[in-house]
Amino acid sequence: MTANARSAFEEGLALEKSGELDKALVSYLRAQEMSPQDTEIAYRAAAALLQAGYLEEAQSQLRRIVFTEPDNLDARTSLGNCQLLLGDLENAAQNFQDVLDRSPDNRNALFGHASVCLKEGRAEDASPSVERLTSLMPHSPAVLTLHAETQAKTGQGAAAIATYRKALKADPMQPGALLGLSEVLLRRKRYDEVIELTIRANESAPTDPLALELLSDALAGKGELQDALLAAEAALKLHPASQSCLVRLSVLNRKLGHHVRALDNALKAHDLGKEAHDPLNAIGAALAALKYADEARSVLTGLTAGKGLDAHVRDTARKLVSAASLASSQPEGANSPAGKSVVSERRVAPLQAPAEETVAKGASHQDAALETRQTNETGFSGDGNERASSVLGLQRRDLT
């Protein structure tokens, strides 16, 4: 390491210690330019790239280090973490296992190995690593959360709840524990607890749609369908390409009597993955609600036979959605007997259906027209049920 490279490297260390990661990365890369063969500099630069989210660049650096120094366990573990984040589970698992073969108590490798197993649906295989890691770090919120997830996925629901609560006692805003506990409690229909937990999870990680998805499911479980719909819409806004969010919206819209919107959601979900069964079920249910019994039967029969969506059914469904979209785009009051739309506290009322009989067989105005909605910011404030009462700006009645 040259003198200038060392100066830049030490500057990077100081900046990283003070929390200025971006500036530290610049210093590390400058030091690396001065001493391109220095492994210590290369590793620090790769670690900083990984923390900053430059996964491909970090992976490239770490591969070079591991190739040059196969026994560099820190670099190999970091490479496994990088591959885990990139979804390359096979290579990540191999790197973690290589580290554990040489250093059985390597905490990062134990955590990474267990994480890969859980992602691959092999919770039983994750258990030995998790148990070892828990013995080494019994008070870590992240480790306790991983332990609880393993318990939940190996049929130990009660133990998982206890471990999640222990993790939250150590860190009340630990996102993984909040969401994991919400999922377990949702299966037990403990909806009020789920609502409280998911509100906290949203506060802790506002860009994660899962909190809003679980909140929507809990609200729906309590029969608060309109609020559940708005929570699901907020989740979709965070993840527009989510098939599960679109299916959830379809189900909720159908239950609320908005059958064409339900059909539209289901079609969009189907387009994201044509082999998935849930969107096809949703399409069939929406068509049945719209009194298109033959088309609904065709979808469900095709689902059983693995044929997917028939072209005639798709065409019929698209015409229904297009007609409703056209109706909703007309000037306000164009089709309304009162000459104007009615705005309630909870939502903007749907526009009236077009006159064409082809829009729906026996469907009401609301079934045929897509709703024009107000745009609400997602936000939570207050405490307990008061916070839940402001979900998406709604004035809720009671959650208990």
What pLDDT score does 311 carry? 86
pTM equals 0.77
Rounded distance between C-alpha atoms, residue 195 and residue 234, angstroms: 15
DSSP string covering 190-234: -HHHHHHHHHHHHHH-TT-HHHHHHHHHHHHHTT-HHHHHHHHHH
Q: Which residues of 274-293 are buried (b: 16+ CB within 10 A; e: fewer)?
A: eeeebbbbbbbbbbbbbebe
What pLDDT score does 368 carry? 38
Coil, helix or strand at residue 383: coil
- 392: DSSP letter: G
pLDDT digits (tens, 9 = 90+) for 246-267: 999 999 999 999 999 999 999 9
What pLDDT score does 306 carry? 65
What pLDDT score does 330 carry? 61
The length of the chain, given as a count of residues: 400
Q: Which parts of the chain register pLDDT below 50? A: 334-386, 388, 394-400
Cβ neighbours around 385 below 10 Å, total: 15
What pLDDT score does 36 carry? 84
What pLDDT score does 355 carry? 34
DSSP β-bridge partners for residue 116: none
CA angle 373/375/381 to nearest 5° reads 125
Nearest to 58 by CA among 94, 21, 90, 111: 21
- Structure tokens that stand for 352 in this block: 């009236």
pLDDT digits (tens, 9 = 90+) for 147-201: 999 999 999 999 999 999 999 999 999 999 999 999 999 999 999 999 999 999 9
What pLDDT score does 367 carry? 46
Rounded distance between C-alpha atoms, residue 38 and residue 10, angstroms: 14
- 348: DSSP letter: B
pLDDT digits (tens, 9 = 90+) for 317-326: 899 888 877 7
DSSP β-bridge partners for residue 343: 348
Phi and psi at 348, nearest 5°, equal: -85, 130
Q: Cβ contacts of residue 368 below 8 Å, gap of 6+?
A: 260, 320, 323, 324, 327, 353, 354, 359, 360
Q: CB–CB of 296/288 below 8 Å?
A: yes
What pLDDT score does 248 carry? 96
Phi and psi at 120, nearest 5°, equal: -85, 5
- Structure tokens that stand for 3 in this block: 């003198």
Nearest to 230 by CA among 16, 380, 386: 380
